[in-house]
Structure 1
Amino acid sequence: MNTTDNLIPRPSHVALQDSPAFTLSPAARIATSGSAVELAGQLGALLRNATGYALPLVEESRPGDIALELAAAFDGGREAYALKVTDAGVRLTASTPAGLFNGVQTLRQLFPSAIEESGPAENRAWVVPAVEILDEPRFAYRGLMLDVARNFLTVEEVKEQIDVMTQFKFNALHLHLTDDQGWRIEIRQPEHNPSGLDYGQLTAVGGQGAVEVATAVPPRGASGFYTQQEFRDLQAYAAAKNVVVIPEIDLPGHVNAALAAIPQLNPDGAAKAMSTTADVGWSTLDASLPVTYEFVAEVLGQLAEMTVGPYLHIGGDEALVTGHGNYLQMMQEFARLASLTGKTVVGWNEYAEAELPTGAVVQYWFGELDATIQKAEAGAPTVIMSPAANTYLDQKYSPDSPIGLEWVKGGPFTWAEYYNWDPAQGGLKDQQILGIEGPLWTETVRNNQQAQWLLYPRAISLAEVAWSGQEVRNAGDFRRRLGAFGERLAKQGVAFQEAPDVEWSASPANPFTAPGAPAPSEYGTIEA
């Protein structure tokens, strides 16, 4: 079985060619020009690391080279690509850098798994089977979410997550920046400040917060925040890997960190105490205070100014102590304020009951689909599907898992529950769905390795659901390909859960490496 049988996500069209395989030689070059040069540099860095070959970048190709070509006349969508491999060379064609990036991820998987080695692998034949692949995604938006509010992840940690997720063609990273336990983004003091709010306190107070759960290792999460420049730098790194960053300020609930930082947001003018509880739904902004809207307008305005991508997420979930009328009043106004920044507003599906700007995106996660479907009937693709039972990556693998939650009915959850579903459900059609997203909430997550252990392999299931057409997906075949991919993940040092029904080609890194942490059992759980 050659590497074309193990590709994830499964391409639209794969045809083996009547030609000898391609062998990358020490004399090979990477041919490209224009806006594809940066991507060619990324490919070169990956291949040089494992092969030790020079692989210089050139403009004109010759036999034995890898060629990356941007062709305006290429017949495909924005992220489509064509990859042709013969013994004479490799040619990857697309109409955009995004398409080329996707093709490079496929080419990476066509090489032997040793291409993932951290240093040159000696006496290796770098052989790629002769094949023609024509491919494009089912959905335009293919995302993961990191909750950095409850447990902070540094810029470098988020970059590490981007490095792993992009090989599966994820192209969106949603950052949950604020919650009851923490405020993770710098908001600067504005020149026009009618109520005299001290926005610096958001990070001075809220940036020091974190969640605390007794069973987590360690119990308390990490604190910290991103400066505006750090956030811009992170977006630039993501953009170079075809990822758009979606920042979220959760409103009008999940706001205790803001209420603790800025006293004027409270009706009595007294700052709340910071909280470490993992409970949800107990905080709210006040619809009757004019300063509420002044504050939200300033925060969303600054966030929009520092955000490169088109989306601004305003939360809207679990506002359990906000009266329904007040909730609708605030979410309608918050959505309007977000829209005034020029960004497309996104919110969790509860906000679909409010009057929203044209083109507003609804992220469905739980409950009835009716309001979401009603908004989707406007015609444009305005729904991100994140049903908790199929996409929430924080759920436990088994009842004795050391990390993870178990509030979603139907658990525990393995890779299969994240693979065996169709986003076009409840009357939704593909053309109404912008894409899918897998959220990782971090009540029990304390470092990148633990995050990876919850993400993988389940996020890989979501990658194929988002990319591959329903008609080409097969759970049994995916399970086989998933097992084969284990060797690549292990060589990258990625922690993943060894689902017992998968025949893994390699074992993962240990995700429980905190000082004093007990060792995981054979199923990846901490012994009591």
Structure 2
Amino acid sequence: MSYQPYKKSIWLSTTMALLTANLFAQSPANIENKISVRWEVPTGISLKKNPTSKLIIKNTDSQQIALKDWSLWFNFIRGIDAKSVDSRFKLSHRNGDLFQIEFAKNNLTLQPKDTIEINFTTLGGLINYTDGPIGLYVSYDGKDTYADIKNYEAQRNTFTAEQRKAYLEQKFASNELLSKGSQQDILPLPAQASFDKTKSFKLTNTISINSDNDFNNEAALFIQFLKDQTGIQAQKSTSKDAQIKIVKTAGFEDEAYALNIDSKGIEIKASTPTGAFYGLQSLKSLIPAAAWSPTNKSLNFPYAQVKDQPRFPYRGLMLDVARNFHSKAEVLRILDAMAQYKLNKFHFHFIDDEGWRLEIPGLPELTEVGSVRSANFKDGKAIQPAYGSGAVAKEKQYLSTQDYIEILRYAAARHIDVIPEIETPGHARAAIKSMEARYNKLKKAGDLKGAEEYLLHDPEDLSVYNSAQNWNDNVLNPALPSSYQFLSKVIDEVKKMHEQAGVPLKIIDLGGDETPAGVWEKSPKIEAFMKENNITSVHDVWPYYINRINELCHSKGLIMSGWEEMGMKNFGKGMDVNPALADHNINLNVWNNLIGGGQEDLAYRLANAGYKVVFTSAYNNYLDMTWDHNFAEPGHSWVGLVDINKTYSFAPENYFINLFKDNSGNELPKDFAKNKVHLTEKGKANFLGVKAGLWSEKINNDTRLEEMIFPRLLAVADRGWAPEQSWENGENFDHQTYQKSYAGFMQKLGNDELKKLDKLNKGYHYRVPAVGVKLIDGKLTANTDYPGFKIYYSEDNTEPTLKSKEYKGAIPFNSKSTYKFRVITPIGDLGIVSTY
């Protein structure tokens, strides 16, 4: 799932600059507006192993600032070691990713325009600026008042001039390969397709569409598309001479279709509305981006014969709106893009340690407490700030029941199944704290029975553990009957929402991920539970819990889905495949395939054992990962770098064929895959498909969300739909064939599909391609990460804008000038600046 190899211990070496005795005591009020904070890291050196970085606090006011009675709080996703902290200061890890710096000596002041430099060593390394402190706020100690710091920035460049030049030349060489291939015609790639581009069929002005009544919804969506994106008006017709005919025809698989374009017009055949819908998406893919214009009243289609169906029945995206919330409107935008590229499963992760984001009738505390992050969390009416949320709680950071129902209906109309996830037993802190608040409220009112009805933790549990995200209180207790009553209640309410939407719930995901070592070991309730059930090891509590919640789901007519650990057990030497539950109808999302971690073949071992598996490859398809090693690129790094090449190169059923380096970039032994388990025929029958995952720890706005999803999601869509390619087969990877396939995909992506995303729904924010630069024969030559984009440049070290020169060819190089290159999209999104 969202594995984070961070550690809790902290080391801090602190230096102070220009501090003086507090001769003139001053009220700490308004400190947040009187200081600026900057995070800096060293340049020119590797930041992979415990680097030292620093927070610089500056007094921007004209008056001195007393350091007494206030402290600095921030979220920091890495570990810090505070064993050697300067005695004048105290740095504490509070829980999760929340840290506090207190100024222990009360007689210190910061003079106007002077600074404090707080140096600290980070455990786990740093990869880019989004690893830095976020959500900084001031706490006025003893007064229970808090305020967000207004002026904060993080350093974004760590290259020396020579490192930067080498990086840009390496990028240039990689970009050059994209020209070596023929552009793909339809994205995702169809199973079978032939085109005669010497002939075309033309649609002009007002057109007619004849569709079977079962396909009315699909036809209406296509008519609306033509209205929104072109100057062509379309209307339903019963005429057999209609320019577009959508014919219900027996014999096609559920998602299959046939598309024929010739002199007689356009005909789509399918047996189901889903097949008809996907045929229309392919037709849209054949319309070049330049034709997506309200003033364009004619469309030309090449003669074509397409017979198509997906490789896998499951082609999905997992979206996390728990760590940082994203609204219903944004979810609908994501669903539109998914539908355009034939993705059909939306795994909706709206519950985690840091937030509960769905209203549950009868349990108002889940959103009253669990969706509210506030610095004033000690009163139990909120949970603590996390992942940059800051001191002040935001309004309505959750989906109402009506919001969710609208999402369900919207998705269903676009042939997308919504699979809700209720994360258990770990990653449950928001639920635990919400039910603790409920317990305290009802107990105070004298209703002890009601208070205990949905309690999720054992108050007497003294177990010591530390989760992957550094929580020590985030696992519900499976010995409590109230834990199962809670799950039953929530599942029933979610099921009702699906019924109200007219979209029956079939699969529900109950998480099962990253339950840390040490959990339950000192719980009196667990001890009694184990004796009662003749369980001799706490490790066996795990499969008991999984089996019981699976039975709960089955009793409600549901299939249970979860992360891979649901199909695993600790047999004393760590987690391994648990064959005992393989025939219990559990679907597994397998993310853990970290190269060198020993679980690279886990998806195949689980499928071979009998579990239904969706390969959610973190190594290829975790979209919250950073693109490359430029410090200005956002994202996580624990699985390595994930650019679109790595996403497209994913071979779902022959994963090892093109693995050459581990997560750190080190070469793998040639016999690396020799002893790894491969898919058997049984395993292939259990292999449902592929999914991308997007975790939102570092994604606190919709623009960043879309930039991390796109364009990589289009590569996931292609891998899930397109037939198995020749480069995926056998034991030896055919680099040349792969590169042609990849180049063809990238040309379609850059020249066409991203231009469409500029226009769909008023424009999507995708990662703007960066610029590669190389000095050739005394001239600077530039290219982009994907083709089809304009480059703007300056020669005077200023940031390029739309008013700057447009790059149209090699530029004579002057060693006294500093050149800056950048891509700017039609909707004004800015690419990373490349400086040469």
Equivalent pair of 1:150/1:182 in contact (CA under 8 Å): yes
Going from structure 1 to structure 2, the CA distance change for 1:413 and 1:130 (only over 3 Å counts) comes to same
User: Amino acid of the residue matched to residue 448 of structure 1?
Assistant: D
Find out whether 1:38 has 2:217 as its counterpart: yes
Q: CA deviation at 1:476?
A: 2.7
Give a deviation string over 1:380-423, Cα, whole Å, max 9, x none: x8110012101111001134245311111xx2221011111211
Match of 2:815 in 1: none
Match of 1:423 in 2: 652
Query: CA–CA distance in 1 between the matches of 2:255 and 2:472?
Result: 39
Match of 1:330 in 2: 545
Instruction: Provide the TM-score with structure 2 as the length reference.
Output: 0.55
Going from structure 1 to structure 2, the CA distance change for 1:508 and 1:129 (only over 3 Å counts) comes to farther
Match of 2:88 in 1: none
Going from structure 1 to structure 2, the CA distance change for 1:109 and 1:67 (only over 3 Å counts) comes to same
Match of 1:494 in 2: 764
Going from structure 1 to structure 2, the CA distance change for 1:139 and 1:46 (only over 3 Å counts) comes to same
User: Amino acid of the residue matched to residue 627 of structure 2?
Assistant: Y
Match of 1:478 among 737, 745, 748: 745
Q: Which runs of 5+ in 1 are unaligned?
A: 190-198, 271-276, 514-518
Trace 1:177-196 onto structure 2 (pairs within 5 A): 177-189=350-362
Match of 2:788 in 1: 504
SS in structure 1 of the partner of residue 421 of structure 2: strand
Equivalent pair of 1:114/1:121 in contact (CA under 8 Å): no
Query: CA–CA distance in 2 between the matches of 1:94 and 1:218?
Result: 54
Q: CA deviation at 1:70?
A: 1.7
User: Amino acid of the residue matched to residue 79 of structure 1?
Assistant: E
Equivalent pair of 1:211/1:443 in contact (CA under 8 Å): no
Q: Greater strand percent: which structure?
A: 2
Match of 2:230 in 1: 51
Equivalent pair of 1:335/1:345 in contact (CA under 8 Å): yes
Find out whether 1:318 has 2:482 as its counterpart: no
Give the structure with higher Rg (CA): 2
Query: CA–CA distance in 1 between the matches of 2:488 and 2:323?
Result: 24
Q: CA deviation at 1:372?
A: 4.9
Q: CA deviation at 1:176?
A: 0.5
Match of 1:148 in 2: 321
Going from structure 1 to structure 2, the CA distance change for 1:219 and 1:86 (only over 3 Å counts) comes to farther
Match of 1:342 in 2: 557
User: Amino acid of the residue matched to residue 299 of structure 2?
Assistant: W
Query: CA–CA distance in 2 between the matches of 1:396 and 1:510?
Result: 24
User: Amino acid of the residue matched to residue 376 of structure 1?
Assistant: A
Q: CA deviation at 1:510?
A: 9.3
Match of 1:438 in 2: 692
Higher mean alpha-carbon deviation, 146-155 vs 324-333, is at 324-333
Query: CA–CA distance in 2 between the matches of 1:106 and 1:369?
Result: 34
Match of 1:227 among 400, 403, 425: 400
Query: CA–CA distance in 2 between the matches of 1:56 and 1:508?
Result: 38
Query: CA–CA distance in 2 between the matches of 1:512 and 1:315?
Result: 39
Query: CA–CA distance in 2 between the matches of 1:174 and 1:316?
Result: 15
Aligned length, in residue pairs: 493
Going from structure 1 to structure 2, the CA distance change for 1:181 and 1:127 (only over 3 Å counts) comes to same
User: Amino acid of the residue matched to residue 543 of structure 2?
Assistant: L
Q: CA deviation at 1:286?
A: 1.1
Match of 1:407 among 638, 657, 661: 638
How much is the aligned-residue C-alpha RMSD, in angstroms?
A: 3.0
User: Amino acid of the residue matched to residue 486 of structure 1?
Assistant: L
Find out whether 1:61 has 2:235 as its counterpart: no
Instruction: Provide the TM-score with structure 1 as the length reference.
Output: 0.86
Trace 1:281-300 onto structure 2 (pairs within 5 A): 283-300=474-491
Structure number with the bigger relative contact order (C-alpha 8 A, sep ≥ 6) is 1
Equivalent pair of 1:169/1:463 in contact (CA under 8 Å): yes
Query: CA–CA distance in 1 between the matches of 2:691 and 2:748?
Result: 22
Equivalent pair of 2:344/2:415 in contact (CA under 8 Å): yes
Equivalent pair of 1:282/1:320 in contact (CA under 8 Å): no
Find out whether 1:303 has 2:494 as its counterpart: yes
Give a deviation string over 1:161-192, Cα, whole Å, max 9, x none: 11112111101111101101111112222xxx
Q: CA deviation at 1:282?
A: 5.5
Q: Greater helix percent: which structure?
A: 1
Q: Which runs of 5+ in 2 are unaligned?
A: 1-178, 374-383, 437-454, 462-467, 499-503, 521-538, 569-577, 594-598, 655-676, 727-737, 771-783, 791-822
SS in structure 2 of the partner of residue 44 of structure 1: helix
Equivalent pair of 2:324/2:697 in contact (CA under 8 Å): yes
Equivalent pair of 2:824/2:831 in contact (CA under 8 Å): no
The percentage of counterpart residues that share the same residue type is: 28
Query: CA–CA distance in 2 between the matches of 1:82 and 1:174?
Result: 29
Give a deviation string over 1:9-50, Cα, whole Å, max 9, x none: 111111124983111122311111312011101101111223
Query: CA–CA distance in 1 between the matches of 2:695 and 2:549?
Result: 24
Query: CA–CA distance in 2 between the matches of 1:281 and 1:81?
Result: 52
Equivalent pair of 1:385/1:435 in contact (CA under 8 Å): yes
Going from structure 1 to structure 2, the CA distance change for 1:10 and 1:520 (only over 3 Å counts) comes to closer
Give a deviation string over 1:290-319, Cα, whole Å, max 9, x none: 211221222223223333342100101111
Equivalent pair of 1:85/1:130 in contact (CA under 8 Å): yes
Query: CA–CA distance in 1 between the matches of 2:308 and 2:392?
Result: 45
Give a deviation string over 1:427-464, Cα, whole Å, max 9, x none: 23543211111010000112222111111111111111
Query: CA–CA distance in 2 between the matches of 1:446 and 1:412?
Result: 21
